[in-house]
Structure 1
Amino acid sequence: LWVVPRVVLEAFPGVVLLKKKSRDKTIELIVSECRDKGYDGVVLESWSRWAAYGVLDDPELRQLALQFVKQLGEALHSISSKSSTRNHLELIYVIPAPRMEGPNNQDFGPEDLLQLADSVGGFSLMTYDFSGPQNPGPSAPLKWIQYSLTTLLPAKGSASQVHSHMIFLGINFYGNDFLLSKGGGGGSITGRDFIHLLEKYKPSLQWDDKSSEHFFIYSDKGVRHAVFYPTLLSLSVRLDEAQDWGAGLSIWEIG
């Protein structure tokens, strides 16, 4: 059993990336925290924040961002783990899923994966939140998951498929309750909310062949809602896909 807490870099990235002293200080803080608390490493999330700040559109800053992740991974690898199952501290890096409409500068691509592969222990691929309140729909369409894996990795069965075991395919253990009225609305729900809706409205579960997800429709005070929530069948389909690729799993989240 590893304990690898999630660390999110939310500060303005220019401060960390442009100044070597700040980069070194940030890495030192993370490594010290792991050493002091007996952690086995960290799960680092920074790419989506860097994208939001526009860092990844600048080739120089993008390279500095990749270098920071490599430097952190190498620093963690240099520290022996107190766990009997690992020789060194580990870095798992969170990456967004590629866009279906085609890649842009903000996407994490196969070249980025290759650059970091020797410095990180794995990549947590965020294949969830495909839809939102303004575009109600499935959480993680199977075709999107397949597209993400195909974009980042060589073809299935390829002799060069050496990095597939480093991918932890994101699986959502939460659902969404979206309003279907003009303007949209709604948001994520947990299992308790899902059971409550089933008991209160007695809806019929429907299977969406296009996304390989279950959903149901209900009306409340004249407003129609669409609820998408993972079921045993939808999870089984995604587990099969991960197994076909030789990938692992990253679950968000149980609570």
Structure 2
Amino acid sequence: MYTARIYFNFIWFFIKCFLILATFSSEQIKYESILETHDKYNTQNTGNKSFQGGPTLAYVTPWNNRGYDIAKIFKGKFDYISPVWYNIHRRSTNQYELTGSHDVDHDWIKEISSQVDGQRRVKVVPRFQFQGWTQIDYQMLITELNEVDSLVNTLSLECRKQGFDGLVLEASYVILLRNFIMRLGAKLHDQYQELILVLPPRKPSIPHFTADQLDDFSQFVDGFSLMTYDYSSHEAPGPNAPINWVEDNILSFTPIMMNRDKLLLGMNMYGMDFYQGRAEHITGNTIIKKIRQHKPIIEWNENWGEHYFQYQENGISHIVWYPSLKSIESRLRLAEDYGTGLSIWEIGQGLDYFYDLL
């Protein structure tokens, strides 16, 4: 009886692997295969990194708690984990306040940063985002060295006190903040910590960071988290990150191989639901509910390299663009071909079987 049970479990494991492989290898996927396999992953491979490009950074947010568990389960897949914990406020002249330290979980940090294979470990680099800043606030940081030193000291002290491996910085007017970012990078490097800078993607309507500027900043920045997602909007529904647009961003920021290992190509784990001139983010749990309820026909757009489906709810037409194994694999191969890294927004939003590919 015991032998028969082992044999059955062995056969069932290979059936699940076949279903997942079939879902991945075909552009034409059925909703049934997603419902059957979305929460299955290879438990023997959670500590092994499959992606052969540069470093992989994964964001975790407090409002999607599943990300904390994913970080623990798949920590061997990631080089950096960036919990979205901190906001930076300017209160008055040379006075800065950091909010969000109440979210810091040292037990979780200890668990995810323990060694994976006897030597490699994940680096914890929380995101610090400028919050509620006025143009005058930015102007003071751009022009006044005392302001720069005050904020650099505030950030570096928090990293040292909490035992972080560095930080991810997200701010507007990045180009104008060169002096601040340079001094922050130098201070963190003195503490054996790293600085990763968030960059918006290249779009025609937005002034963008140039390849020369990225080359300049790379002297004091360890990585650039490029937000290559949110391509479409309620005004123009469509894919989250068309693959040729993603490739254009790689070539725009790094036209030659130099610094490509510092470029962390953004990859979304969420989707978008468009209806009646609106656009709503949709995460893994919700996508499974929608698929189970509406049993949609899932279609592949070859030009954009993404899956989508349509459904009707309360007489209203919806179109949903959401990552799939096929779309993720395409972007992983693109990053490998160009030698870039990855920045994943964010691991609490995806489906479990996505992480087998990383």
- Secondary structure in structure 2 of the residue aligned to 1:140: coil
2:344 and 2:314 map into 1 onto residues whose CA distance is 34
Q: Name the structure 1 match of 2:198.
A: 94
Q: Name the structure 1 match of 2:20.
A: none
The share of aligned pairs that are identical, in percent, is: 37
Give the C-alpha shift of residue 235 in structure 1.
0.2
> CA RMSD, aligned part only?
1.4
Q: Name the structure 1 match of 2:229.
A: 128
- Secondary structure in structure 2 of the residue aligned to 1:143: helix
- Secondary structure in structure 2 of the residue aligned to 1:146: helix
For each residue in 1:129-180, what CA deviation from the matched residue of structure 2 results, as whole angstroms up to 9, or x when unmatched? 001222211000001101100111124xxxxx1211001110001111111x
- Secondary structure in structure 2 of the residue aligned to 1:69: helix
| 1:164 pairs with one of 260, 283, 299 | 260
- TM-score, with length taken from structure 2: 0.60
- Secondary structure in structure 2 of the residue aligned to 1:227: strand
1:239 and 1:141 map into 2 onto residues whose CA distance is 14
For each residue in 1:211-242, what CA deviation from the matched residue of structure 2 results, as whole angstroms up to 9, or x when unmatched? 10000011112211110110000000000000
| 2:186 pairs with one of 56, 60, 74 | 74
Q: Name the structure 2 match of 1:25.
A: 150
For each residue in 1:3-43, what CA deviation from the matched residue of structure 2 results, as whole angstroms up to 9, or x when unmatched? 10000123221232222111111110100000000000000
2:279 and 2:317 map into 1 onto residues whose CA distance is 11
Matched, 1:4 2:97: no
Runs of 4+ in 1 over 2 A off after TM superposition: none
- Secondary structure in structure 2 of the residue aligned to 1:137: coil
The farther-off stretch of 162-171 and 16-25 is 16-25
Matched residue type, 1:136 = P
Matched residue type, 1:174 = Y
1:68 and 1:116 map into 2 onto residues whose CA distance is 11
1:122 and 1:251 map into 2 onto residues whose CA distance is 14
Q: Name the structure 1 match of 2:115.
A: none
Give the C-alpha shift of residue 194 in structure 1.
0.3
Matched residue type, 2:259 = H
- Secondary structure in structure 2 of the residue aligned to 1:228: strand
Q: Name the structure 1 match of 2:346.
A: 253
For each residue in 1:52-104, what CA deviation from the matched residue of structure 2 results, as whole angstroms up to 9, or x when unmatched? xxxx7xxxxx44x122111111111111xxxxxxxx100011111111x37x6
Matched residue type, 1:187 = E
How many residues are matched?
223
For each residue in 1:106-137, what CA deviation from the matched residue of structure 2 results, as whole angstroms up to 9, or x when unmatched? 31111210111110111001000001222211
1:218 and 1:69 map into 2 onto residues whose CA distance is 46
- Equivalent residues in 2 for 1:1-255, closer than 5 Å: 1-10=122-131, 11-12=133-134, 13-46=138-171, 49-50=172-173, 62-63=175-176, 65-79=177-191, 88-99=192-203, 101=204, 106-155=207-256, 161-179=257-275, 181=276, 184-255=277-348
Is the Cα–Cα contact under 8 Å of residues 211 and 255 in structure 2 kept in the other structure? no
1:29 and 1:211 map into 2 onto residues whose CA distance is 43
- Secondary structure in structure 2 of the residue aligned to 1:71: helix
Matched residue type, 2:158 = E
Matched residue type, 2:321 = F
- Secondary structure in structure 2 of the residue aligned to 1:43: strand
Matched residue type, 1:124 = S
Matched residue type, 2:258 = V
Is the Cα–Cα contact under 8 Å of residues 224 and 262 in structure 2 kept in the other structure? yes
- TM-score, with length taken from structure 1: 0.84
Is the Cα–Cα contact under 8 Å of residues 223 and 264 in structure 2 kept in the other structure? yes
- Secondary structure in structure 2 of the residue aligned to 1:154: coil
Gaps of 5+ in 2: 1-121, 349-358
